[in-house]
Amino acid sequence: MKPKTLSRGTAEVRILPDLDALSRAAADEFLRTAREAIRQGGRFTVALSGGHTPRRLYEYLINCPQERIGELPSEKMEIFFGDERQVVPDHAESNFRMVRETLLANGRIPLANVHRIQGELDPQQAADLYEAELRKCFGLAPGQPPRFDLILLGLGTDGHTASLFPGTSALAEERRWACANWVPKLQSHRVTLTLPVLNAGAKVVFLVSGKEKAEVLRAVLQCEDEGVKLPAQLVRPHSGRLRWLVDADAASLL
C-alpha cells in the first residue's frame, strides 16, 4: 500500500505500510526537526519514548546509511525521556538501557547531553531530580513549562501514553513537569512527564504499530468532546503540531 494521510481534529494521521516504513518516516521527521531546531535555536531538544516501536526508529537512525544521526552536530542535541520504570539503568525493562543500546550506541552524543530519569531512586526523589534537570537545561522561570522541539510518544492498549495511565493521579497534575505516578494495575510507580509538558511541545509525534493497537487507536482518534478521556486523547499541543505515524495494522479500523 502507499502511505496516506488523514485528518482527525487538529491531528494529522499518516498511515504507513508496515513498521519499517513507519520507522523511516519517523527518522525523516526526527532529522528534519533536529536540523531546523539547530538552525534556528542552536540546539535540538527531544523527549524519547520507550517500547518496541521506537526501538526500531532508534536503530534505523544510527544504522541506515541515508539517515545517519551522525550527520547532525551531536553536541547540540539534548536527549530526555518521556518516562521511566522503577528499575536500575541496566535492567532489561529500562527505557534508558534501550536507548543506550540503540540511539547512543555509536558514542557520538555526549553523555552530558543525555538526561536520564534515575529509576533506581525513590520515585519522588527521581521525579524531583528530573524536574530540576529540566529547569537547569531549559533555563525556565517559575510556572513556565519546557518546550521540547520534539516529543515522541507511544500508545498502550489501554490508551496510556508515556506513563500517564487511565485513572492515575498524574493526569490531574497541573504544576509539576515530572511526577511519580502510582499505577495500580502494575503495582509500581513510574516517573513520567506530565500533560503540561507534553502539551507545550513544539511537535508531538505518536508512533503506533500492530493490530493489537487498532481498537484503542480508533477510540483515541474519535476526538469526542464528552465522556471519559483516554490519556492519549489529552495530548493536544497548545501551539505545536500533533502527528500520528501508524502502520497499516494499527490503522485497520480507521
Q: Is the pLDDT of residue 227 over 80?
A: no
Q: What pLDDT shows up at residue 9? A: 66
Q: What mean pLDDT do residues 205-222 have?
A: 95
What's the pLDDT band for 199 if we cut at 50, 70, 90? very high
Q: Which of 116-125, 137-146, 241-250 has the lowest mean pLDDT?
A: 137-146
Q: What pLDDT shows up at residue 91? A: 96
What's the pLDDT band for 2 if we cut at 50, 70, 90? low
In 1-76, where do the E strands start and end?
4-8, 11-16, 44-48
Q: Is the pLDDT of residue 8 over 70?
A: no
Q: Is the pLDDT of residue 98 over 60?
A: yes
**158 and 216 in contact (C-beta within 8 Å)?**
yes
Task: For the full predicted model, state whether its pTM sits above 0.85.
Answer: yes
Domain range list for the chain: 4-247
Distance CA 254, CA 237 (A): 22
Please return the burial class of 66, using the count of CB atoms within 10 Å of its CB with bins 0-12, 13-18 and 19+: exposed
Supply 141's cell numbers: 522561570
Our CA dihedral for 156, 159, 161, 163, rounded to 10 degrees, sits at -90
Name the residue with cell 532529522: 31
Q: What pLDDT shows up at residue 1? A: 64
What's the pLDDT band for 229 if we cut at 50, 70, 90? confident
Q: Is the pLDDT of residue 6 over 90?
A: no
Q: What pLDDT shows up at residue 127? A: 98
CA distances 15 to 3, 167, 247, Å, are: 5, 30, 5
Q: What pLDDT shows up at residue 160? A: 97
Task: Convert the pLDDT of each residue in 148-174 to its tens digit.
Answer: 999 999 999 999 999 999 999 999 999
Q: What pLDDT shows up at residue 66? A: 56
Task: Convert the pLDDT of each residue in 39-75 to its tens digit.
Answer: 999 999 999 999 889 999 999 888 865 556 667 888 9
Task: Convert the pLDDT of each residue in 32-48 to its tens digit.
Answer: 999 999 999 999 999 99
Task: Convert the pLDDT of each residue in 17-29 to its tens digit.
Answer: 999 999 999 999 9
CATH fold of 4-247 reads Rossmann fold (3.40.50)
Query: Which contacts of 38-41 are long-range, i.e. CB under 8 A and separated by 24 or more positions?
Result: 38/72, 38/73, 38/76, 41/149
Task: Convert the pLDDT of each residue in 83-96 to its tens digit.
Answer: 999 999 999 999 99
Q: What pLDDT shows up at residue 215? A: 96
Percent of the chain having pLDDT more than 70?
92
Supply 163's cell numbers: 506513563
